[in-house]
């Protein structure tokens, strides 16, 4: 990953942690996970993030990336 993408992911994870989420999870991944658990606000978050990024599967892709630890250095996966 490049520097700017890493920085944006770090800010995303910081915001998620500040609002009570896990420190190594992005808002998109959290929204997908919470929607799967039936949380009603998460569906609105998913729709908003899909519109923001222009990808209706953004949150699902983010969740799967987190599960596979694709943001981590290859030697720690």
Enumerate the domain spans of the chain: 3-76
Contacts 24+ apart (CB under 8 A), 3-11: 9/71
pLDDT at residue 1 greater than cutoff 80: no
- Average pLDDT of 47-65? 90
So what's the pLDDT on residue 73?
84
Q: How confident is the model over 4-50, as pLDDT tens digits?
A: 988 999 999 999 999 999 999 999 999 999 999 999 999 888 888 88
pLDDT at residue 75 greater than cutoff 80: yes
Burial-class residue 18 by CB neighbours within 10 Å (0-12, 13-18, 19+): exposed
So what's the pLDDT on residue 49?
86
Predicted structure pTM score:
0.83
């Amino acid at each position: 990953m490049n520097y700017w993408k890493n920085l944006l992911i770090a800010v995303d994870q910081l915001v998620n942690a500040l609002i009570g989420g896990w420190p190594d999870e992005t808002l998109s991944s959290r929204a997908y996970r919470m929607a799967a658990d039936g949380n009603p606000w998460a569906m609105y978050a998913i729709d908003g993030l899909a519109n923001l990024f222009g990808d209706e599967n953004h949150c699902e892709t983010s969740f799967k990336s987190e599960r596979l630890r694709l943001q981590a250095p290859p030697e720690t996966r």
